[in-house]
Amino acid sequence: MGETAADFLAVNAGLGLQTTTLLMTAVLVAAMVWQFRQRVYVPAAYWCAVVLISVVGTLITDNMTDAFGIPLLYSAIGFSLALGLTFLAWFASERTLSIHEVFTFRREAFYWLAILFTFALGTAAGDLVAEAFGVGFAGTGVLFGLIIASLALGYFALGLDGIWAFWLCYIFTRPLGASVGDFLSQPDEYGGLGLGTITTSLAFLGIIAVTVAVMTFRRRNRA
């Protein structure tokens, strides 16, 4: 969603990269205020923040590549280091990286900063492998999908620690999602299916909306 929505707003809607970045950052700030005001997990607030931070994370990488000419390899390395430092600071401060123990403002701030870096890193890594390394969108999606599958196998069958398994899978879903989004939306001459950013973004948004609605309904029933 982040990959295709960012491309749609900046290119198809004609807003341009900088205007889109400023606009979506402002909307993200409003969504984060909404999320931080919640005292419990509320699916609508949480997933609204996730969707918007995915768009802004993608735009950060696009700005570094297109506006400032920073190579994707450098962006991927830089965001990997930033994410690693975030985890180190988080653990040094809180002695845990478990998402089940995010119940203070500081822990949630660390959590969302990590999420932002995973989306920015995912865009950089996905584009780097697909375009710069010439693997293609489909091949990149298969590659990262297999990595996630191996981590799942490690968790369910080989005793991989749950926190490590979660965060590693979470990180690798970002380049997987970016590659799938590009594969569906980009034209045939670039190795995609040519569905376009509008159709692809609306399809992803519809899936997210239905999923969040189901989670909200089930949560209310349990309550």
Q: Which two tokens stand for residue 113?
A: 């900063």
pLDDT of 41 > 70? The answer is: yes
DSSP string, 127-154: HIIIIIS---HHHHHHHHHHHHHHHHHH
Helix axes of 43-62 and 17-36: crossing angle, nearest 10 degrees: 150
- Residues 6 or more apart whose CB falls under 8 angstroms from that of 97 comprise 87, 90, 91, 163, 167
> Which pLDDT score is estimated for 1?
85
* C-beta separation of 183 from 137 below 8 A: yes
pLDDT digits (tens, 9 = 90+) for 76-94: 999 999 999 999 999 999 9
Averaged over 181-188, what is the pLDDT? Answer: 92
Averaged over 150-154, what is the pLDDT? Answer: 97
State the residue range of the domain holding 200: 2-222
pLDDT digits (tens, 9 = 90+) for 50-74: 999 999 999 999 999 999 999 999 9
Of the candidates 105, 172, 106, the one whose C-alpha atom is nearest the C-alpha of residue 144 is 172
| Average confidence score pLDDT of the chain | 94
Report the share of the chain in percent with pLDDT over 70: 99
pLDDT of 167 > 70? The answer is: yes
Q: Which residue has the higher pLDDT, 221 or 92?
A: 92
> Which pLDDT score is estimated for 25?
97
Domain count, the chain: 1
Q: Look up the pTM and report it.
A: 0.90
Q: Which two tokens stand for residue 32?
A: 């984060």
pLDDT of 223 > 80? The answer is: no
**Res. 129 pLDDT band, cuts 50 70 90:** very high
pLDDT of 17 > 90? The answer is: yes
Averaged over 155-181, what is the pLDDT? Answer: 95
Averaged over 191-214, what is the pLDDT? Answer: 93
